[in-house]
């Protein structure tokens, strides 16, 4: 487990993945999806230094110090995504990278376009049918229309029994339940998420979120 994001082996794997991504774009310069994949990997790696504190505590995206992001790498990701878009053949990796780009733009302007993010998730769901994309769409919808709308969307997604053992579903459910004031149900959902999480730092973060609800009146 790389609690602080400084494990040399894992960092080397990330560098190797980015190298292979760049190589793939050179071998297939006219194919948009390798460019989309490269952009997606670069966005993820660029935020790595901000994901954990010096003590190894997990930091969610909305709370990250963006001055710790690698903005040069983000610029490379933006350029790769722009190059991919010129082919006018949208694929999964391009959509996932575009979602990351939308969050980056939100960090730049301090104003996230949740309508654009919901629209991107709509396109991704049409293309893949991914239940993970539907979970994230529910969270984005909650930002756009309020937590009750997001929770209603998540209830529909929850009919997929594969999500019974999927930690992010329970964490998302807990978050939205807490925002609607259903604190007891939120605590139950957090406990489910905690039980499914293998990363100690993320598990501790979920514990803190759950414990906070005990102090909310």
Q: How many domains does the chain have?
A: 1
Residue 129 — left, alpha, or beta (φ > 0 → left; ψ -120 to 50 → alpha)?
A: left
Output helix, strand, coil percentages for the chain, rounded to the nearest 5: 75, 0, 25
- 100 domain residue, yes or no: yes
72 within some domain: yes
> What pLDDT score does 3 carry?
39
Contact 208, 60 (CB under 8 A): no
Say if residues 76 and 53 touch (Cβ distance below 8 Å). Answer: no
| Torsion over CA: 41, 105, 6, 175 (sign) | negative
For residue 6, the model assigns a pLDDT of 47
> Residue 131 domain-assigned?
no
Specify the pLDDT at position 16. Answer: 87
| 23 within a domain of the structure (yes/no) | yes
Low-confidence ranges of the chain (pLDDT < 70): 1-11, 216-217
Domain holding 6, by residue range, is 1-109
Q: Is the CB of residue 66 less than 8 Å from the CB of residue 50?
A: yes
CA–CA dist 61, 51 (Å, integer): 7
End-to-end CA distance of the chain: 36
pLDDT of residue 217: 57
**Phi/psi at 76 (5° precision):** -65, -40
- Identify whether 62 is part of a domain: yes
43 lies in a domain?
yes
| CA proximity to 49, closest of 2, 92, 96 | 2
Nearest CA to 93 out of 137, 10, 36 is that of 36
**CA separation for the pair 195, 153 (Å, rounded):** 24
Non-local CB neighbours of 40 within 8 Å, separated by 6+ positions: 77, 93, 96, 97, 100
Q: Phi and psi of 105, rounded to 5°?
A: -65, -35
Of 181, 182, 178, residue with least CA distance to 208: 178
Whether residue 1 lies inside any domain: the answer is: yes
In a domain, 3, yes or no: yes
* Per-residue model confidence (pLDDT) at position 7: 55
Q: Are 172 and 154 in contact (CB under 8 A)?
A: yes
pTM of the predicted model as reported, rounded to 2 decimal places? 0.89
């Amino acid at each position: 487990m790389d609690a602080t994001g400084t494990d040399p082996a894992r960092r080397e794997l990330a560098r190797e993945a980015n190298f292979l991504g760049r190589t793939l774009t050179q071998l297939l310069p006219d194919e948009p999806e390798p460019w989309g994949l490269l952009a997606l990997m670069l966005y993820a790696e660029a935020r790595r230094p901000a994901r954990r504190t010096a003590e190894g505590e997990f930091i969610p995206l909305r709370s990250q110090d963006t001055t710790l992001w690698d903005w040069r790498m983000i610029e490379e990701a933006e350029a790769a995504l722009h190059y991919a878009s010129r082919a006018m053949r949208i694929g999964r990796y391009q959509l996932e990278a575009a979602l990351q780009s939308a969050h980056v733009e939100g960090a730049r302007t301090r104003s996230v376009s949740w309508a654009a993010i919901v629209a991107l998730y709509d396109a991704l769901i049409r293309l893949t049918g991914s239940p993970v994309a539907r979970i994230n769409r529910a969270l984005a919808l909650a930002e756009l229309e309020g937590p009750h709308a997001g929770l209603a969307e998540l209830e529909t997604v929850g009919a997929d029994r594969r999500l019974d053992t999927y930690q992010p579903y329970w964490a998302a459910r807990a978050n939205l339940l807490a925002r609607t004031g259903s604190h007891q149900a939120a605590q139950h959902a957090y406990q489910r998420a905690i039980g499914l999480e293998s990363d100690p730092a993320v598990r501790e973060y979920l514990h803190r979120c759950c414990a906070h609800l005990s102090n909310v009146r």
